[in-house]
Amino acid sequence: MKKIFLYATIIFFATALCASAAVFQSVEQRTTYYKERYKALCANEKITDNFGNGFDSLYGTRNMRTILYGIAYRGGANNFYNKYEKRDNQNPLTDEALQNLCNEGFDMAVYLYGKNFNAAKKVAISGTDTLHYIQNSGMSRTTQREIMDMVKQRIDNPDAGPLYFHCWNGWHQSGYVSAIILMQFCDFTKEQAREYWEMNTDGAYKKFDNVKKMLSNFTPFADLKIDDETQEMICPCLKK
């Protein structure tokens, strides 16, 4: 109970902080801004590549892709290929990555693993904007709900900044979380979700039976459904 209360407090506090620096009058305005800024209109298009290059202002991310325009993005943490802070691949985001995300208007980053998270910086500040860094695996019904609530808050609130969900490479766990988000808010079928997950692992989709099972077992939350007009605004295109 204490953990849930603390989690809710962090979410509310982060949203409130970003509200003080709001620049968007509507969610549509925010989605348009990020679509034009990153030019990644389809779900498999990368904003940063496997070596962390491509969009200099987001250095520290890796294999970054759109989940929902202006709402949620996915990727990895650029550690092993980092030109400035090279370290083992199995680590959270660097301080630089968190700062860059904050500078870009993101107000929360979510580490989908737990390894070395305790040593990571938890807050980045840019002017009046604040980014909070939390950990959530999305591997239980409770943590799935927490993720969907975070996304829904940003669909409903123009003042909130985008989310960045990440694992190590930007392939498997971030792909899983992205797939269930797309099932929840873009009406992906289980078959579409699995195809999407496999397509965005850069070829490393064999094995991982636990992830495939989680995808097949996921059921969207009925009370978080969005209308067709909102889907049209935030859901990315798909290319095979």
- Per-residue pLDDT of 124-174, as tens digits, reads 999 989 999 999 999 999 999 999 999 999 999 999 999 999 999 999 999
Q: Which two tokens stand for residue 53?
A: 């290059």
Would you say residue 205 has pLDDT above 80? yes
CA–CA separation, 91 and 25 (whole Å): 36
129 — phi, psi (to 5°)?
-90, 145
pLDDT in tens, 21-75: 448 999 999 999 999 999 999 999 999 999 999 999 999 999 999 999 999 999 9
The per-residue pLDDT for 240 is: 60
163 — phi, psi (to 5°)?
-105, 150
Bridge partners, 130 (sequence order)? 125
Second-level CATH architecture of 2-234:
Alpha-Beta Complex (3.90)
The per-residue pLDDT for 18 is: 39
How does the average pLDDT of the chain come out, rounded? 91
The per-residue pLDDT for 196 is: 96
Confidence label for 239 from pLDDT (cuts 50, 70 and 90)? confident
Residues 107-123: what's their mean pLDDT? Answer: 97
For the beta carbon of residue 212, count every other beta carbon within 10 angstroms.
16
Residues 107-121: what's their mean pLDDT? Answer: 97
Would you say residue 211 has pLDDT above 50? yes
For the question of whether the overall pTM of this predicted structure is more than 0.85, the answer is: yes
Residues 166-190: what's their mean pLDDT? Answer: 97
The per-residue pLDDT for 9 is: 47
pLDDT in tens, 119-137: 999 999 999 899 999 999 9
Q: How far apart are the first and last CA of the chain?
A: 43
CB 221 within 8 A of CB 145: yes
Separation in Å, CA 47 to CA 35, 103, 127:
11, 16, 24
Would you say residue 8 has pLDDT above 60? no
CA–CA separation, 85 and 144 (whole Å): 32
Strands 108-111 and 129-135, bridge-based pairing: parallel
Closest CA to 178 of 208, 141, 147: 147
Show me where the domains of the chain are located.
2-234
Q: Which two tokens stand for residue 64?
A: 């970054």
Higher pLDDT, 44 or 208: 44
Report the SS3 class of residue 126. strand
